[in-house]
């Protein structure tokens, strides 16, 4: 039989435990911190091949559904790691401005030695669809942009899916091969036309576009963008054009840092 002091101590301990539980239960619960912006990697099986790609997912505080930007990289980011496309062009700018950026961004990757044409353009569209479905993309506010080889690719994917994009931002891209050393870099859908610039503008006259190019570009001549802009004006297409007078091939840093470009882009919407 237990003594009274032992029973009294046990009772006091039990009372203290119950009080602690009661106090904890009455405390206001702290909500988990909102999820911050981040890059994630995904893998896509397409046409019998496997592709890695990256997705920038904006902070949870950004309103849903999300605008979606398909970013097409340049020649130097080709490969199979799924990460290199985020290391030049839009990716570095996103890392510096991640907290405030309101859109989902999809970064597909072309295998080494290939171009944004044919199966790779279709792969980019498949990655866009997969990421949009997973992260809540807005089909009425979906855009394509790309730099250099990806500028060509922007036209390529738009011609493959002309009703998919609300607006386009090709940067230092073109339509025809830019130089003899790069004969495989061109927009395939209009390659057989007598005037591919006029054909492209006519097929995409309903899609707003804003082209950017450096006047001193020695890899893709600015004349490529100038000819396309003239063709667009001739058919009444809504193609804007900004040329940096002292700019070289790297027109992307200035373009992606331009708030006016983003304001214009996110104002475009499909019916």
Cis peptide leading into residue 22 (ω within 30°): no
- What phi and psi values does residue 217 have, to the nearest 5 degrees? -65, 120
**Three-state helix/strand/coil letters over 84-115:** HHHCCCHHHHHHHCCCCCCCEEEECCCCCCCC
Residue 153 lies in a domain: yes
- What phi and psi values does residue 165 have, to the nearest 5 degrees? -110, 140
Strands 137-147 and 167-171: parallel
Residue 35 has a pLDDT of 84
The total number of structural domains in the chain stands at 1
Residue 18 lies in a domain: no
Contact 68, 138 (CB under 8 A): yes
CATH code of the domain in which 204 resides: 3.40.50.1820
Residue 147 lies in a domain: yes
Supply angle C-alpha 60, 252, 111, rounded to 5: 80
Residue 65 lies in a domain: yes
Residue 6 lies in a domain: no
User: For residue range 23-37, what is the model confidence (pLDDT) as tens digits?
Assistant: 455 555 544 455 899
- Return mean pLDDT, the chain: 91
* Cα radius of gyration (the chain): 26
**Beta carbons within 10 angstroms of residue 150's beta carbon:** 32
Residue among 232, 32, 28, 266 at smallest CA distance from 142: 266
Residue 246 lies in a domain: yes
Residue 7 lies in a domain: no
- Cβ burial, residue 98 (10 Å; 0-12/13-18/19+): middle
Residue 167 lies in a domain: yes
**Alpha helix (H) ranges present in the chain?**
4-26, 90-96, 119-135, 149-160, 196-203, 222-235, 252-256, 259-267
Domain that holds residue 127: 38-267
Cβ neighbours for 264, distance < 8 A, ≥ 6 positions apart: 167, 210, 240
Mean pLDDT for each 10-residue chunk of the chain (271 residues)? 48 51 50 77 95 97 94 98 98 96 98 96 98 97 98 98 97 97 96 97 97 98 98 97 98 98 98 89
Residue position matching structure tokens 């870099």: 185
- The rounded distance, in Å, linking the Cα atoms of 189 and 93 is 31
Residue 12 has a pLDDT of 56
User: For residue range 88-140, what is the model confidence (pLDDT) as tens digits?
Assistant: 999 999 999 999 999 999 999 999 999 999 899 999 999 999 999 999 999 99
Residue 1 has a pLDDT of 46
Residue 29 has a pLDDT of 54
């Amino acid at each position: 039989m237990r003594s009274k002091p032992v029973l009294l101590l046990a009772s006091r301990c039990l009372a203290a435990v119950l009080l602690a539980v009661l106090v904890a239960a009455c405390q206001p619960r702290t909500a988990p911190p909102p999820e911050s912006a981040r890059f994630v990697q995904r893998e896509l099986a397409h046409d019998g091949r496997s592709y890695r790609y990256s997705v920038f997912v904006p902070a949870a505080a950004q309103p849903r559904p999300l605008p979606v930007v398909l970013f097409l990289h340049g020649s130097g980011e080709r490969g199979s790691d799924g990460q290199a496309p985020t290391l030049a062009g839009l990716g570095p700018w996103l890392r510096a401005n991640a907290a405030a950026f309101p859109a989902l961004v999809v970064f597909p990757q072309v295998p080494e030695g290939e171009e944004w044409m044919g199966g790779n353009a279709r792969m980019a569209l498949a990655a866009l669809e997969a990421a949009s479905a997973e992260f809540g993309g807005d089909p009425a506010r979906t855009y394509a942009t790309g730099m250099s080889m990806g500028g060509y690719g922007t036209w390529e994917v738009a011609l493959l899916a002309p009703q998919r994009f609300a607006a386009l931002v090709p940067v230092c891209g073109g339509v025809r091969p830019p130089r003899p050393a790069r004969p495989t870099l061109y927009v395939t859908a209009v390659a057989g036309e007598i005037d591919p610039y006029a054909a492209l503008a006519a097929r995409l006259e309903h899609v707003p576009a804003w082209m950017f190019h450096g006047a001193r570009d020695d890899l893709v001549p600015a004349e490529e963008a100038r000819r396309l802009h003239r063709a667009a004006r001739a058919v009444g297409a809504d193609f804007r054009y900004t040329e940096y007078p002292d700019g070289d091939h790297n027109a992307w840093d200035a373009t992606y840092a331009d708030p006016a470009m983003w304001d214009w882009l996110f104002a475009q919407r499909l019916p």
